[in-house]
Structure 1
Amino acid sequence: MRLSVIGIGPGDAAYMLPAAQQALADADMVIGYHYYFQFVSHLLKPGCECIGRELSEEEARAVLAVESCAAGKHIAVISSGDAGVYAMASLVYEYAAKQNREDIALQTIPGISAFQGAAARLGAPIGHDFCCISLSDLMTPWTTIEKRITGAAMGDFVTSLYNPRSNKRNWQLSRLKEIYLLHRSAETPVAIVRQVSREEESIHLTTLGALDVTMVDMFCLVMIGNSQTYRFRNFLITPRGYLSRKPITGDEIQQESFRQISEQLQRDDLSPADQWAAIRCIHSTADFEYEQLYYGTDNALEKWHTYLTNGGIVITDVTMVQSGITKAFTQRYGVEVKCYLNDERVVALAAAENLTRSQAGMRLAIAAHPNALFVIGNAPTALLELCDQYQQGNCRPVGVVAAPVGFVNVLESKLKLKYTTGIPSVIIEGRKGGSNVAAAIVNAAFTLDTITAMHTHK
């Protein structure tokens, strides 16, 4: 004895699979919603018993099918679309399992589901990840359905809606629209496909914001695009990504990282140059707090760009900052990057003057290059020394990058520079900073022409 659950497609005979036609031609009894027999009666063999039931009698159909199975008999249960999608397959199998009918040879014949038929009519809306949600709460609690709606909206799934709206269930689609608008643009394409593949078929294209729920009934399927879906003529297209592949080369990856960071920036008081430096700090640390910690004065980045591209001198407090400044930039413009921390005179000077090594190295650097760009990424004592030397008139730096990191004297050194007027500065406020951050700011100054070009071509 055999029991087949057969999907007959959305309505058009051309959309019924050959396997379904063959199974129907072999059936001794066919059970289904009486409306569906108009699509299959011509396929049935003489003497096949046809038993029609009402739309709401799904359970009765499953019971009848299982209990009608007998030796040598082939029973078929028909369902529109695909029998496994919101249809009869699960109910038939569930009842057979509860009755422990090991003697029945069960099979499911797939069919073209309404969402697939609608998608074909619309062109290419399901080219990326999608989901199907039934808005009927007859069998599923609305709280569960709403969780699924929210998950699909947040997950940016293309969404096909079954059972979207009826005379009695007339509010669920409005609630879904409200939820989706929290996560999707009002311009998101939406299609209402009614009676897909049947003579009465109609397609209405609209947007999520303009969706008129009163146009929808139980003969409709509603399809909502994702954030990339767009309309072309009377088609909807959801790109898979072939024409906008993920970045592969190092430069592509870096540029995509900058783009993603830029999209998440919040401050509107930063100049394009300072914003670019903040982006590079975030890129170096993966920490968006650097946007809030960033403080710049006197158009510092623009001045430093001119200075560096004309072959300036950069002084760093530690070799890690020196290593972090991109060598391709320094070589291109003939910039010297010097660190005096390991100078042979440092130890003796530190002992004689009761200084830290960082202070001693900074004092030697100031004496040799009083007008350089000073970049502090580690030692607050080096920054304090630089401020003192400036106040004593021993140097006139083209600028100072202040990003020492830690606890002791870190806040004090940054505040001292902040309230020392006359030095174009970039300060990373608070306790954060580091060599990589300091170097990132210098690299931002080197590449300021690049970001200016990017802004120009936006």
Structure 2
Amino acid sequence: MRLSVIGIGPGDAGYLLPIARQALADADIIIGYHYYFRFVEHLLKPGAQCIGKELSEEEARAVLAVESCTAGKHVAVISSGDAGVYAMASLVYEYASKQNRQDIALSSIPGISAFQAAAARLGAPIGHDFCTISLSDLMTPWTTIEKRIHAAAIGDFVTSLYNPRSKQRHWQLSRLKEIFLQHRSPETPVAIVRQVARPEEHIQLTTLGELDVTLVDMFCLVMIGNSQTYRFNNFLVTPRGYLSRKPHTGEEIQQESFRQIRLQLKRDELSPADQWAVIRCIHSTADFEYEQLYYATEGALEQWHEYLAGGGTVITDVTMVQSGITKAFTSKYGVAVKCYLNDERVLALAAAENITRSQAGIRLAIQEHPDALYVIGNAPTALLEICDQYQQGNCRPIGVVAAPVGFVNVLESKFKMKYLPDIPSVIIEGRKGGSNVAAAIVNAAFTILEQVQ
């Protein structure tokens, strides 16, 4: 005994697969929604028994199909579209398993689903990841359906809606629209496809914001594009990828990284220049906490850009900061980047004054370049030295990047710098920082015009 669950496609005879035609021609008993027989009755063998049921009697059809299986008989259950998509296959297999009918030779015959036929009519809307959601809560709790709606909207899936709206279930589609508009543009393309692949077929293209839910009924399939979907004539096109091609050159990868970082920023009070510096800090560390740790006096980066564009001097506390400042930028503007840490005078000065080598290097630098841009990415003692020298009137830097990292004196040095008057500064608050972060801020100052304009 055989039991076949057959998808007969959306209605057009051309959409009925040859394997389905063969199974229908061999069936002795055919069970289905009575409306569907109009599409297949000419394919049945003489004497085949047709048992029609109402649309709401899906479970009764499954029970009848299993119980009609007797020796030598081939029973077929027909479903529109694909029998495995919101249709009879799951009910038939579930009932057969519960009855432990291992004597039945079960098989599923695929069909072209309504969303596939609709997609073909629309051109290329499902070229990227897509999903289908049934809005019928007759057998699925609405709370579960709504979770799936949120997931589809957040995940940016092209979404096909089955059972979108009926006289009794008229609000579900409105709720879905409300949820999708939280995550998709109102301009997102939407198609209402009614009676697809049947003589009464009608297609209306609209947008998510303009979607009129009253135009939708149970004979419709609604397809919502993703963030990349666009309209071309009377077609919908969803590109195969989110980018025409993945970035592969160093410059392309860097720019795509900047783009992704920018999308996740939260501080809207930052100036465009400061936001750019934050992006550079995050890019060098992959740590989004730097957005919250970033502090800058107003206009510091813009002032530094003018200074550097005029061929200024940058003093760093350690050679790692010096190395991290992009050579192409310094060469372009004729900027000198100096680090005194390994100057032959440093060891003697540090020993004589009982100070660290970093302090000694900064002290020597201030003697020769009291107005330079000072960039501290490692040693808090170097930052404290700048503060002390400024208070003694020995220097007036064009600015200070204060990003020492660590534990001892780190917080104190940053607080001391923050509350000094009249020094343009960028400070990475807390214990984080480092040479790469300090260098990233200087690189941001070099490039703010090309990124901010």
Q: Secondary structure at the match of 2:102?
A: coil
1:309 Cα deviation from its structure 2 partner: 4.1
Report the AA paired with residue 319 of structure 1.
T
Deviations 1:388-430 (A, max 9, x none): 2233333343332121223443333334333434433322334
What residue number does 1:109 align with? 109
What residue number does 2:43 align with? 43
CA distance in 1 between partners of 2:170 and 2:225 (Å): 22
What residue number does 2:228 align with? 228
Deviations 1:368-407 (A, max 9, x none): 3333321111222211211222333333433321212234
Mean CA deviation greater in 215-224 or 204-213: 204-213
CA distance in 2 between partners of 1:372 and 1:365 (Å): 9
What residue number does 2:434 align with? 434
What residue number does 1:34 align with? 34
What residue number does 1:363 align with? 363
CA distance in 1 between partners of 2:134 and 2:295 (Å): 52
Deviations 1:351-376 (A, max 9, x none): 32122222112112222333332111
What residue number does 1:69 align with? 69
What residue number does 2:166 align with? 166
Cα RMSD for the two superposed structures? 2.2
Q: How many residues in Structure 1 have an aligned counterpart in Structure 2?
A: 453
What residue number does 1:2 align with? 2
Mean CA deviation greater in 340-349 or 83-92: 340-349
What residue number does 1:178 align with? 178
What 5-or-longer segments of structure 2 have no aligned partner? none
Mean CA deviation greater in 228-237 or 6-15: 228-237
Q: Secondary structure at the match of 2:231?
A: strand
TM-score normalised by L of structure 1: 0.92
Map residues 132-143 of structure 1 onto 2, 5 A cutoff. 132-143=132-143
1:333 Cα deviation from its structure 2 partner: 4.2
The alignment status of 1:350 with 2:350, answered yes or no, reads yes
What residue number does 1:296 align with? 296
CA distance in 1 between partners of 2:297 and 2:69 (Å): 85
What 5-or-longer segments of structure 1 have no aligned partner? none
CA distance in 2 between partners of 1:49 and 1:269 (Å): 74
CA distance in 2 between partners of 1:30 and 1:127 (Å): 36
1:439 Cα deviation from its structure 2 partner: 0.3
1:348 Cα deviation from its structure 2 partner: 2.7
CA distance in 1 between partners of 2:106 and 2:193 (Å): 33
CA distance in 1 between partners of 2:29 and 2:360 (Å): 98
1:314 Cα deviation from its structure 2 partner: 2.0
Contact 2:69 2:75 in 1 (8 A): yes
CA distance in 2 between partners of 1:97 and 1:449 (Å): 69
What residue number does 2:213 align with? 213
CA distance in 2 between partners of 1:242 and 1:279 (Å): 22
CA distance in 2 between partners of 1:242 and 1:16 (Å): 34
When residues 237 and 398 of structure 1 are mapped into structure 2, their CA distance, relative to the original with a 3 A threshold, is same
CA distance in 2 between partners of 1:33 and 1:214 (Å): 26
When residues 346 and 230 of structure 1 are mapped into structure 2, their CA distance, relative to the original with a 3 A threshold, is same
When residues 391 and 443 of structure 1 are mapped into structure 2, their CA distance, relative to the original with a 3 A threshold, is same
Report the AA paired with residue 147 of structure 2.
K
CA distance in 2 between partners of 1:422 and 1:256 (Å): 37
1:242 Cα deviation from its structure 2 partner: 7.1
Mean CA deviation greater in 104-113 or 67-76: 67-76
CA distance in 2 between partners of 1:15 and 1:167 (Å): 29
Q: Secondary structure at the match of 1:273?
A: helix
Map residues 273-288 of structure 1 onto 2, 5 A cutoff. 273-288=273-288
CA distance in 2 between partners of 1:391 and 1:242 (Å): 55
TM-score normalised by L of structure 2: 0.93
Q: Secondary structure at the match of 2:169?
A: coil
When residues 154 and 449 of structure 1 are mapped into structure 2, their CA distance, relative to the original with a 3 A threshold, is closer
CA distance in 2 between partners of 1:91 and 1:206 (Å): 35
What residue number does 2:423 align with? 423
Report the AA paired with residue 431 of structure 1.
R
1:41 Cα deviation from its structure 2 partner: 0.9
CA distance in 2 between partners of 1:284 and 1:51 (Å): 70
Mean CA deviation greater in 37-46 or 383-392: 383-392
Report the AA paired with residue 161 of structure 1.
L
1:187 Cα deviation from its structure 2 partner: 2.4
1:132 Cα deviation from its structure 2 partner: 1.0
Contact 2:228 2:242 in 1 (8 A): no
Q: Secondary structure at the match of 2:93?
A: helix
CA distance in 1 between partners of 2:31 and 2:287 (Å): 62
What residue number does 1:79 align with? 79
Deviations 1:55-114 (A, max 9, x none): 122222222222222333222111100000011111111222222222222211110111
CA distance in 2 between partners of 1:142 and 1:267 (Å): 37
Deviations 1:119-172 (A, max 9, x none): 111122111111111111111122222222222222121111111111122222
CA distance in 2 between partners of 1:157 and 1:274 (Å): 35
